[in-house]
Structure 1
Amino acid sequence: MNVAIFGAGGPVAAGAIAWLADRHTLRLTDIASLDTPHEYRRVDVTDPDQVAAAAEGMDALINCTVMRPDPVLAFDVNTRGAYNVMRAAVMQSVPRVVHTGPAQIFATRGGYQNEWNLTEEAPPRPGVNLYAWSKYLGHEIVRTFARCHPEISTVVFYYAGFYSDEPEHRGPRFAVHVDDAGQAFRLGVEVPREQLPSNFELFHISADVPMAQVSVEKARRILGYAPRHNFEHVWSRRARAAYEGSGGNEARPG
């Protein structure tokens, strides 16, 4: 398959490239220059014409673009960028789109920070963070395009952060290793349309850890997602530190 990746220079796309390169022909796009053996195009995702041109001849589009701190660019990239990618899919008759974004339904305030084993059915609660809202609006644009254009099969991934192999790397308790994120991208591109319950499907992509905040059961069942990294060295270290910090005394009922 011919696959275009938008935002290919960021960490989210790194795993996707690694998992897709040996099975698909990649067209990498980013606003920054990339040193890559694959086809590269400089594309500003806020420019609809550039995005449409990059989507020409593709079988799948992956949107990994993201902007967090700048209040104007965050909206342009995360919201308008999502619109431009879906518009390009319609214009160029691309049958599959994989869209990405944060698990913004778990806002720090007003979200689900004290909940566990949440499924994709949990209603969005983006809180008051601009980044979360710009991504949330982008996701709603993607959902609306899918509803209006059933010929496009759209897969959306929610994730909350990425661990590398650095021993002291910390991240959210529902993060994912970049390698497992890459696996999910390949599954999202390759899953047969008839295997998806609808032409718009949302999946949590996370590590499979004890007391997980989000459930990856749907991704396992439909996509065949099988995370290989559970960060045992991280959560066991934290548990040990908490135990030692309490003086080595286990909590007892009063």
Structure 2
Amino acid sequence: MRLLVVGGCGFVGSFVVPVLARSHQVRVLDLKPPRAAASGVDYHVGDLHDVDLVASLSSEVDSMVFMAMGSEQDWGSPENARQHFDVAVSGLYLAVTGAVRAGVRHVVYTSSMSVYRYPNSEIFPFPDESVPPDAADFYGLAKRLGEEVCRTAAAEHGIDALCLRLSFPVPDDQWPRSGRPRERAISTSGRDTATAIEAALHRRGHGFDVYAISGDATGKMMSLDKARRDLGWAPQDVT
């Protein structure tokens, strides 16, 4: 496929884009150039809010993968919160607008399980996809609103818009994530993150949908039944 990856030079993009580029023609749009360019990837520096630029880069593209997010610097400050909302809401809206203008009919949005309030117990599971998101913190709320942008785009333009609720994705050499036991339990390797996006690229003709993505194959903290059923995806790297 021909893919436009928006935000492909960020943390997740740094280990997902090289994998996608093995099987697809990948074009990346980011505010900054890559720290280490992946072989065969066509990089472009620019603003995702530029509808004309996104439309131009979306020419003959089969899917747009949106993985842009705000900075981790000064996490939670008013300016940082504003940046996250700007990317996940207005930025996503404008990028989708440009892509649809160019004829793109399929979008994959890297959302987050942070759309839910974090369970208070180490063993209390996250809700499954049938439960409406309820996060109130700036990051979770921004991701929630990003999903609503996708839902609206699917209804308004008749496109496919798949939201993958990622869980602590990390490069393979850093997996499983260090830290609290539950974060380690649900962290997702780079390989499994990339294969989840790959699976979503092939899910077409079903409009809007959301999927929990995690390395928790046991389902102790998170149910992956929907991803298994609809996407044919399950983590290979499990804790």
Normalising TM by the smaller chain, what interval? 0.7 to 0.9
Extract unaligned runs of 5+ from structure 2: none
Residue number in structure 2 paired with 1:162 = 169
Q: Which residue in 2 is equivalent to 1:188?
A: 200
* Structure 2 counterpart of 1:96, from 106, 113, 125: 106
Bigger mean CA offset, 117-126 vs 25-34:
117-126
1:226 is aligned with what amino acid?
Answer: A
Q: Which residue of 2 aligns with 1:136?
A: 144
My pick for the range that moved more, 216-225 or 171-180, is 171-180
Equivalent position of 2:70 in the other structure:
67
Cα separation, 2, equivalents of 1:59 and 1:168: 32
The residue number in structure 2 matching 1:118 is 127
Do the aligned partners of residues 30 and 229 (structure 1) sit closer, same or farther apart at CA in structure 2, a change above 3 Å counting?
A: same
Residues in 1 aligned to 2:176 and 2:149: alpha-carbon distance in whole angstroms: 37
Count of aligned positions: 222
Name the TM-score, length of structure 1 as normaliser: 0.80
Contact 1:96/1:154 (<8 A) preserved: yes
Q: How far apart, in 1, do the equivalents of 2:57 and 2:95 lie?
A: 10
In structure 2, the partner of 1:240 is: none
Q: Which residue does 1:24 correspond to in 2?
A: 24
Distance across 1 between alignment mates of 2:5 and 2:194: 12
Which residues of structure 1 form unaligned runs of 5+?
232-254
The alignment's TM-score, normalised by the length of structure 2, stands at 0.84
Amino acid at match of 2:64: L
Structure 2 Cα separation of the partners of residues 168 and 174 of structure 1: 9
The change in CA–CA distance for 1:166 and 1:105 in structure 2 (over 3 A counts) is closer
Q: Secondary structure at the match of 1:104?
A: helix
Deviation at 1:46, TM superposition (A): 2.8
Contact 1:14 1:178 survives alignment (8 Å): no
The code of the aligned residue for 1:118 comes to P
1:146 and 2:158 are equivalent in the alignment: no
The one-letter code matched in structure 1 to 2:209 is: E
CA distance, structure 1, for counterparts of residue 115 and residue 140 of structure 2: 8
Check 1:116–1:169 CA distance in 2 against 1; reply closer, same or farther (3 A cut): closer
Contact 1:104 1:126 in 2 (8 A): yes
Flag the structure with larger Rg: 1
Q: For residues 179-218 of structure 1, give each alpha carbon's deviation from its aligned partner in whole angstroms, at most 9, with x where no partner exists.
A: 1000011111123x25xxx311111110134453221111
Could you tell me how far apart the structure 2 residues matched to 1:84 and 1:36 are? 26
Give the CA deviation at 1:168.
Answer: 7.6
Contact 1:16-1:186 within 8 A present in 2 as well:
no
Q: Secondary structure at the match of 1:208?
A: coil
Cα-to-partner distance string for 1:24-75 (whole Å, 9 max, x where unaligned): 1110121111233311111222333332222222111000001153132222
Question: What CA distance in whole angstroms lies between the structure 2 residues aligned with 1:222 and 1:211?
Answer: 17
Sort the Cα spacing of 1:103 and 1:122 in 2 relative to 1 into closer, same or farther, 3 A.
same
C-alpha deviations, 1:152-199, integer Å up to 9, x for none? 1111100131244237841524221111000011111123x25xxx31
> Are 1:84 and 2:70 an aligned pair?
no
Q: 1:45, 1:84 within 8 Å by CA — same for their partners in 2? A: yes
8 Å CA contact 1:15–1:183 kept in 2: the answer is no
The runs of 4+ residues in structure 1 deviating greater than 6 Å are none
CA distance in 1, matches of 2:83, 2:191: 28
2: CA distance, partners of 1:156 / 1:211: 20
